[in-house]
A and B are shown apart, each in its own frame.
Chain A
């Protein structure tokens, strides 16, 4: 089946650091990628949607200057958490989908971000 690789799986860093998370589709072309955030014992909440070659669409309440998303190719999207603070600590998960809207989304294994 389709594989999505997310890296790194765990990051611990100091407050004020910027952190980049990569999401790669390994065996299919991901026209659309989604970035979700999950707090402990909560469900996944969509942060933004990115289409290859276009600017990302952010959900209400998500700061686009804080969470920079780049989707420069059909196999790679990146999320950069700029000047991270402890409240940004969370579990970030990406998913990828092909061209057709009713295709399944394939998820990465997630990145646990801990800001000290």
Chain B
């Protein structure tokens, strides 16, 4: 059974810092992996999607990497801003069906 783990569970940083969020999964047979952002009481905003054949994807200040063989992905956020404060969720698409989510990393960026 696929399990997705995110470390750390919570992270507080001052504005301007670069940071890395970690995601690991137990079964490397995945179609793709997605990173989402969730604001309190809100739905999910898709940030980046990495297909199983890809190594990384970039969007603005965000860069996500995927090492499928080791079951790991990282989300790198450059020059963090207070507006980046949210919960970041990692999810894997294993069988082309529903996503399997980690519990998320709650990020707080102080000004």
Contacts and interface: CB of A to CB of B under 8 A. Distances in A.
Nearest to A48: B98
Contacts of B98: 34, 36, 46, 49
Interface size class of B (residues with CB under 8 A): 20 to 34
Interface stretch (A12-20, A62-70, A81-89, A108-116): A108-116
Interface in A84-102: 91, 93, 95, 101-102
Interface stretch (B60-68, B73-81, B101-109): B101-109
B40 to A, nearest CB: 10
Nearest to B9: A41
Contacts of A1: 46
B93 A43 contact: no
B83 interface: no
A105 B98 CA distance: 9
Contact of A49 (B36, B51, B97): B97
Interface of B: 31-32, 34, 36, 41-46, 49, 51-52, 89, 91, 93, 95-104
List the 4 closest A-B pairs by CB distance, nearest first.
A101-B96, A109-B43, A107-B44, A110-B43
